[in-house]
């Protein structure tokens, strides 16, 4: 059922048809983009689970799309690198990666048009970036430190942009950041000016950057979906007047 639902959402993006859904737009936009780049024309109806795709090119959305690539990347190098940083043990890192490779749930999720592999990609990316940033604590404000801190913020935005469940990794990174700042505040050799720089860097990369990217996702979402479709009625008349094909399109609406 979920593949039918999210496949239809991808078709809406290809046809630029506006719709209303409970999830943020990033994952569905990536599904639609993968289908568009692989030659899918958005004409399959996705009416009920089990319908045959027949001549429709669904390979990009289901197989060659981001989910299959993401599932491969989760084990190597993401999870193995993360475990290597945490345990400093190569056998532990390899064992963890192989466990994920042969996990039936992950194998199944990577076969269908779903948001979960994309969500896992950003969740694992956020945790990996956080761990790598912590490993650079002895050289703050270096190029690698800035890179991993910024990549953590980008991954947080991606996790929130796919599903609201991504807020849990935001909580994890937030608690880690609070602990890190508390430890820095207790360092008597660190001046208040330097502590302020640390605080400002984290506000910039872990709050402002993710919020800016999250807002940009919705800007792209509304720019792409400019045609009338299911879900128009949830929005104001002024908004409906901007959708091509709507009864109120280009009609002057009083404030």
Closest C-alpha to 121, from 112, 110, 131: 110
Of 82 and 194, the structure prediction assigns the larger pLDDT to 194
- Reported pTM: 0.84
According to the model, what pLDDT value does residue 149 have? 96
Helix (H) or strand (E) holding 84: helix 80-87
* Predicted local distance difference test score (pLDDT) of residue 151: 94
pLDDT on residue 55: 67
pLDDT at 40 exceeding the cut of 90:
no
Residue of 94, 70, 72, 71 whose CA lies nearest to 82: 94
Band the pLDDT of 1: cuts 50, 70, 90: low
Kindly calculate the radius of gyration of the chain based on its CA atoms and give it in whole angstroms: 22
Question: Averaged over 109-127, what is the pLDDT?
Answer: 82
As a whole number of angstroms, the distance between CA 252 and CA 33 comes to 34
Q: CB of 8 within 8 A of CB of 46?
A: yes
Residue 31 per-residue DSSP state:
H
Least confident of 19-28, 58-67, 106-115: 58-67
Q: Within 13 A of 139's CA, how many CA atoms are on the CB side?
A: 10
* Sequence spans of domains, the chain: 3-242
Tokens of 136: 């650079």
Residue 209 has pLDDT above 60, yes or no: yes
Residue 76 has pLDDT above 60, yes or no: no
Task: Give 140 or 84, the one with higher predicted confidence.
Answer: 140
Mean pLDDT, rounded, for 129-135: 91
At residue 144, the pLDDT reads: 94
| Percent of residues, the chain, with pLDDT higher than 70 | 80
Mean pLDDT across the chain, nearest whole number? Answer: 82
Could you tell me which residues come within 8 angstroms of residue 79 by beta carbon, excluding any fewer than 6 positions away? 93, 96, 97, 100, 124
Q: Which two tokens stand for residue 123?
A: 């969740």
pLDDT at 89 over 70: yes
State the pLDDT confidence band at 63, using cuts at 50, 70 and 90. Answer: low
Place 65 in a pLDDT band, splitting at 50, 70 and 90: very low
Distance in angstroms (rounded) separating the CA atoms of residues 13 and 129: 31
Q: How confident is the model at residue 158 (pLDDT cuts 50, 70, 90)?
A: very high
Minimum mean pLDDT range among 26-30, 113-117, 172-176: 113-117
Question: Among 39-48, 79-88, 157-166, 167-176, whose mean pLDDT is lowest?
Answer: 39-48
Question: What DSSP letter does each residue of 158-209 carry, written as one string?
Answer: HHHHH-GGGHHHHHHHHHHHHHHHHHHHT-TTS-HHHHHHHHHHHHIIIIIH
């Amino acid at each position: 059922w979920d593949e039918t639902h999210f496949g239809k959402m991808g078709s809406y993006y290809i046809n630029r048809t506006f719709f209303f859904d409970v999830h943020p737009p990033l994952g569905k936009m990536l599904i639609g983009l993968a289908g568009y780049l692989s030659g899918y024309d958005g004409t399959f109806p996705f009416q009920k689970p089990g319908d045959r795709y027949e001549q429709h090119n669904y390979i990009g959305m289901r197989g060659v799309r981001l989910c299959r690539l993401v599932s491969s990347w989760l084990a190597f190098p993401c999870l193995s690198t993360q475990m290597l940083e945490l345990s400093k043990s190569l056998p532990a890192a390899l064992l963890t990666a192989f466990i994920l490779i042969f996990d039936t749930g992950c194998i199944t999720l990577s076969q269908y048009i779903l948001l979960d592999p994309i969500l896992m990609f950003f969740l694992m990316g956020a945790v990996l970036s956080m761990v790598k940033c912590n490993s650079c604590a002895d050289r703050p404000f270096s190029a690698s430190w800035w890179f991993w801190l910024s990549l953590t913020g980008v991954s947080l935005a991606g996790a929130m942009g796919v599903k609201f469940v991504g807020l849990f990794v935001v909580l994890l990174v937030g608690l880690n950041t609070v602990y890190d700042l508390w430890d820095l505040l207790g360092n008597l050799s660190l001046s208040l000016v330097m502590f302020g720089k640390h605080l400002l860097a984290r506000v910039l990369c872990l709050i402002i950057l993710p919020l800016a990217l999250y807002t940009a996702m919705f800007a792209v979402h509304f720019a792409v979906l400019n045609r009338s479709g299911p879900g128009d009625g949830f929005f104001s008349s002024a908004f409906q007047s901007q959708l091509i094909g709507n009864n109120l399109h280009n009609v002057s609406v009083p404030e």
